[in-house]
Structures are given as structure tokens and as C-alpha cells.
Structure 1
Amino acid sequence: MGRWGITLPLTGVPVLDHRALVAELAGLGYTDVWSAETAGTDAFTPLALAAQWSDRVRLGTAIAPVYTRGPATLAMTAATLAEVSGGRFVLGIGSSSPAIVERWNGVPFHEPFKRTRDTLRFLKAALTGEKVSEEYETFTVRGFKLERAPAHPVPIMLAALRPGMLRLAGREADGAITNWLGAADVPKVRAEMGGGELAARIFVCPTEDADAARALGRMLISTYLTVPAYAAFHDWLGRGEALRPMHEAWASGDRRGAGALIPDDVVDALIVHGGVDRCRARVAEYAANGVDTPVIALLPTGGDQLDLVRALAPGA
């Protein structure tokens, strides 16, 4: 295997309780720790701690929204993480979603492609230590310069689902971060992106209870894939007709019934489940199909999550 990542913090586990696990990760074969940012921890604080608990794993945000922090604040935060990690930090940015940006943070979710593109271009300049005065299409920066530029280059990756953002990631960023796709979908995404690193967050539910795994998967799929960007992504991937009943039920207000209408084969494509050996093999399929950095997102099964992370390691 090449890279093998884990999403931290784990669901329901306090941030500080990850210290011993993070110290073990590199020895287990994990190369990466990636954070997330929705309504739990922020994307950066857990990584700053992990940088002190391990001097080997790479650390990345997947992702930090481009709307909820100003461009200069993003640059300062990235520079700080690069410093405290000794150059092991990757900044993953993306548009996020209308719920997170507008409903929770009170920021208009306007022209997400352009805002992401403009933020990428600003950060590429600012993180070199250059003084930036620029009128971008979606914001203007006048006279910003980092007091201390990072000693090591900070790779920037873009959250990307469909062709436009995937091409932007391949053309101007250091790579793309994607999720909610099956292993068989990877070649289509890889081909659209072209060059650069491709990371994918893969939802893993290590349990032999297929009914329980599928029930959890249906709940998550109906919540995420009804977001317009994800709905369009799966239309592009070819699942539009299979997911149409779910979308119709959701639109009518039948949220509970929507999940029940997701076919088993869709759930099984998007949620890795089964025993730990099978799950590890399924994650490896993503890598074989073109994902450079598979990143496990562990779904709760009732088992000890720290032990499950150990069991899912590539060298286990």
C-alpha cells in the first residue's frame, strides 16, 4: 500500500482521548490523519494536537470551508499548522454546503465554484510570503502579507465532485478530495481530474450485521445525497434513476421513507461494511482504482472505535 489515512476525531470520542492512538498510527501503517468540519470539532485544532502526538503522520483538513473564514485568516491558520507540524500539513478547502455556510454561519452561499477558485489563487500567493493586493471576482484583498511565511510549501487540495471542480483541482491545486463514491466510480473521477493527488474519504462500518450497516448507511445517504451538489454528483456518476425514489420522497417531506427507498446495491457501493479484513480489502480497491490517499471515516458500530482503527490498519 501507499498512503492510508484515518479521519479524526472519532465520533463521540473526546479530542484529548486520541493521544495514545495517534502516537501508534504510523507504527500501524497509517500515513495520514484528516479532519472534518461540520458541527463537531473545527478542522484545525485536532490536527495541531496530533502534530504534537506524532512526528510522522501527514495532517490534512477535509475540508475547511472557504466562506466561514476570511482568506487572510485561512492563510494564517495554514501557516501556523505548517509550522507546528514541521511541514506535514495539507490544506484542504472547499465550498462546503448551504446548510453549513448560510444556515449555521449566516454567510451567503454565492458562486461556490468561483469563491473556491479565488480562495485557492489567493492562498497560493499568500503562503509563499508574497504581499497580496488583488481584486478577485468574489472578494478583494488589499495589502495582506504573512508576518512569517511557512518554511515548507503547504500543499492545497480542493474538495471536488463534478468535472469543473475536478479539473480546477488538477490544473491549479495540488490535488482533489472527494467522498461519497464507490470504488467503481474512481476511474471516472480520476480521468476528469487528470494530474495531482486524489484523496477520498471512505465510510467504513466494520460489522458483520449487514442489516445494521445498511440502516446506518441509508440514514447517511438520504441526508447527504439530497444536498444538491451530491445529487448532481450521483447523477453524473449514473445513479440518478436509482436514487430518484429517494429524492422524490425527501422532497415530499417523507424523510424516514426516503432512506428505505435506497437500493441495497447503492448502499453497498457507498458504505464499506463487513468484517475488518473485508473492509480493509474494500478500501484497498479504491487505491487500486486510482485513489492515491484512501481516508477511512469510521462509522460507529457499538464496538471500541480505537480498537477498530487499529484493526483496520493496512498492516493488521
Structure 2
Amino acid sequence: MRIGVNVGHFAGRPPPDLAARLQEIDAAGFSSVWFAEAYGSDVFTPLAYAAALTSRVRLGTAVAQVPARTPAATAMAAMTLDHLSGGRVVLGLGASGPQVSEGWHGAPYARPLARTREYVSVVRQVLAREAPVSNDGEYFPLPSPGSELGKPLRSSLHPYRASLPVLLGAEGPRNIALSAEVADGWLAMFFAPAFDGFYREALDEGFARRGGRPEGFEVVATVPVVLDDDVDRAADRVRPELALYMGGMGARGANFHHDVFVRMGYESVAARVQELYLDRRKDEAAAAIPTELVEQVALIGPVGKVRRDLDRWESTVVDEIAVQGLPDDVSAVARLL
């Protein structure tokens, strides 16, 4: 199993030692570095920064938000960076959620699967550069309807790789199936090895619509990793982030991260965490998450325990684990994994 690092998005400000940490990750043998975006730092700028500081790791967006850019703009950024990095880019896309899409980007969120499907189609056209790009779809029509001067255009930049991989970030079964149907991989979040069968069924549904699993399809899961002799203390490092996503990323009835834990059988826990978090009792929300739940979606505890727990992941659909956040001790995590 490959191991990468998902730095995520910057909270407050970028880490002051980011350059040195990225070079250390590259030298330590990790397979990839990923960045994210929400409603602050963007995803492509730090990825370009990482490209200039590294020489071997893959460079991934996890994820570039669909509502943040037109599909052509996203393809342009990915294609340009692929050239400058020597073909190391992995383009991860995600629909985001209604709060960010409509409240931050001012873009409609309705029918996110259909919107994503069309978005991927346009991105593929740009990357392939086989013909001028056109699209008669509902969400990203090209040329713009009613335009008198607009015409289909072909990218002036030739792609470094027309086959630049496109992955989809997904949590629900329909979105996971979509990744299997139209993308080159699935970016998983809050993956639990105990539910591997559920994820395989969703992927198989998409592969069936595609006519089979394509060669090279990959599953990359972002996973918190905390090495500590005290398991509960290690879980305490993860609980606040889980509380944020379970309770605060969205509203009641419209939080897809929350729904993941409901499907895992933690409905009462998820409801309590959401209630506390939305009531601004964030510390209590984090404390309400049991250690056993943290252990479902994270690798925590002493080195020996983490090694044993990692064995559960080896038999799952996951091809690569992206360690969530910059590890405290890059070399220790590299030796472990």
C-alpha cells in the first residue's frame, strides 16, 4: 500500500516550516502530497509551491472544488502544473456542499452528481485536446448560449499527459459509484475498513455502468495518523477535527460528513455531536466522540498497535493512504508505514 500526505487547507495561515516539511516528505519516500481547499486557501497555489520544492512525489488536489472554477479553468491549471512538475499532477475534484457552493462561490448546488458528471466531461475534453471544446449540457454549456462571438476553442497548450488522472472526492454511495463510472479513482474520506464491503458494492455499481473496472483505477483514503503510547490521548488529537466535520460542516439535514457516521451506526453520537457543535460547544462536541469511533477511521496509538491496525487496511479496496495533515515526525511515520 502506498503512503502519501494530505496537508489539507491552511487554517489561519500556512505552516511557517512548510517548505522544509515538503522537502522532508519528498526525501522520506512518501508517494504523494495533497492539498485541499474550503473557503480560504486555494488548492493550486500550494501545489505549485510544492512542485518547485520536490522532485518525485505525486501532486494531488484533494479536492479542487467544482463550484470554484469553470471546468476549463480547472483543466488549464492542472495541465499547466503537470508540465511544470514533469507529469506529477493528480486532479481530484469534488462538489463541495451547499453552504460553500452557494454561500461562498455564489454557484448553485442542486443536482451535484449531474453537475459533476458534466464537469468531468468538459475537463476531459480540454486535457485530450482532440477537438475544439464544446458542450451542450445544462450546467456548463460551451459556447455560452446566445453568444454571437463565442466559438469552440482548442487549448493552445498541448497537454503533458492527455491521460492526466482525474479522481473524485466522494462519501455517499451514489457519488462513489459516479467516481467508478467517470473518473480514474476515488478520493475517500472517513473510510472505515469494517465497511469495505459497502464501498466495494458502490464502486462495482459504477464499474458496471462503465463496462468494467478500468486499468489503473485507484482509491486514495485520507486517514489521521497519531503515534502515542496512550490511545485515548491520541484520539484526543483527532476528535476536534471529527467534531468539526460531523457537527459543523453544514446544517442539520445537510451535512454529508455527518451522514457517513450515521451509516456506520453512530447515529446517536453524530446527532449529539452536531447538536453541541452548532450550539458552539465545540469542546463538548469533541469529547462526545468515543475512542472506538476514532479507531474506525484513524490509525492511533503505540507503534505496535498502529502496525497491527494497518493490516486491516491492506485487504480493503484502498490503494493509498494519505496521512491527514503534516506529521509531527515525518521520519517516524515514514518508518512505520
TM-score (norm 2): 0.81
Query: Residue in 1 aligned with 2:136?
Result: 135
CA distance in 2, matches of 1:10, 1:75: 20
Per-residue CA distance 1:154-209 (angstroms, 9 max, x = gap):
10000111221111111111011011132323342133213421110001233334
Deviates more, 1:75-84 or 1:245-254: 245-254
5+ residue gaps, structure 1, are: 300-304
CA distance in 1, matches of 2:218, 2:256: 22
- Note closer, same or farther for the CA distance 1:206–1:98 as it changes in structure 2 (3 Å cut): farther
TM-align CA RMSD: 2.7
Residue among 228, 252, 258 paired with 1:207: 228
Partner amino acid for 2:240? Answer: M
CA distance in 2, matches of 1:15, 1:173: 32
Query: Residue in 2 aligned with 1:78?
Result: 78
Partner amino acid for 2:3? Answer: W
Deviation at 1:73, TM superposition (A): 0.8
Q: Does residue 179 in structure 1 map to residue 179 in structure 2?
A: no
CA distance in 2, matches of 1:248, 1:22: 38
Q: Give yes or no for contact 1:186–1:286 (8 Å, CA) kept in 2.
A: no
Query: Residue in 2 aligned with 1:288?
Result: 315
Query: Residue in 2 aligned with 1:147?
Result: 156
CA distance in 2, matches of 1:261, 1:22: 34
Q: Percent identity?
A: 31
Deviation at 1:271, TM superposition (A): 3.2
Instruction: Give the alignment of 1:93-242 within 5 angstroms.
Output: 93-129=93-129, 130-142=131-143, 143-152=152-161, 153-194=163-204, 195=213, 196-226=217-247, 227=250, 228-242=255-269
Query: Residue in 2 aligned with 1:52?
Result: 52
Deviation at 1:97, TM superposition (A): 2.2
- Note closer, same or farther for the CA distance 1:46–1:251 as it changes in structure 2 (3 Å cut): closer
Deviation at 1:250, TM superposition (A): 4.9
Per-residue CA distance 1:9-28 (angstroms, 9 max, x = gap):
69678467333443343442
CA distance in 2, matches of 1:131, 1:280: 51
CA distance in 2, matches of 1:56, 1:6: 13
Partner amino acid for 1:138? Answer: Y
CA distance in 2, matches of 1:46, 1:201: 18
Partner amino acid for 2:45? Answer: T
CA distance in 2, matches of 1:106, 1:298: 29
- Note closer, same or farther for the CA distance 1:78–1:69 as it changes in structure 2 (3 Å cut): same
CA distance in 2, matches of 1:315, 1:29: 12
CA distance in 1, matches of 2:308, 2:153: 47
Per-residue CA distance 1:109-166 (angstroms, 9 max, x = gap):
2222122111111111111113111122222121242111312121000011122111
Q: Give yes or no for contact 1:208–1:273 (8 Å, CA) kept in 2.
A: no
Number of aligned pairs? 309
CA distance in 1, matches of 2:153, 2:63: 23
Q: Give yes or no for contact 2:3–2:31 (8 Å, CA) kept in 1.
A: yes
* 3-state SS in 1 of match to 2:128: coil
* 3-state SS in 2 of match to 1:205: strand
Q: Give yes or no for contact 1:287–1:294 (8 Å, CA) kept in 2.
A: no
- Note closer, same or farther for the CA distance 1:245–1:10 as it changes in structure 2 (3 Å cut): closer
Partner amino acid for 1:133? Answer: S
Partner amino acid for 1:56? Answer: R
Deviates more, 1:79-88 or 1:211-220: 211-220
Deviation at 1:223, TM superposition (A): 1.7
Query: Residue in 2 aligned with 1:302?
Result: none
Per-residue CA distance 1:219-250 (angstroms, 9 max, x = gap):
22222123421222333333334434334555
* 3-state SS in 1 of match to 2:224: strand
CA distance in 1, matches of 2:301, 2:81: 36
Instruction: Give the alignment of 1:233-252 within 5 angstroms.
Output: 233-250=260-277
TM-score (norm 1): 0.86
CA distance in 2, matches of 1:280, 1:47: 30
CA distance in 2, matches of 1:197, 1:148: 27
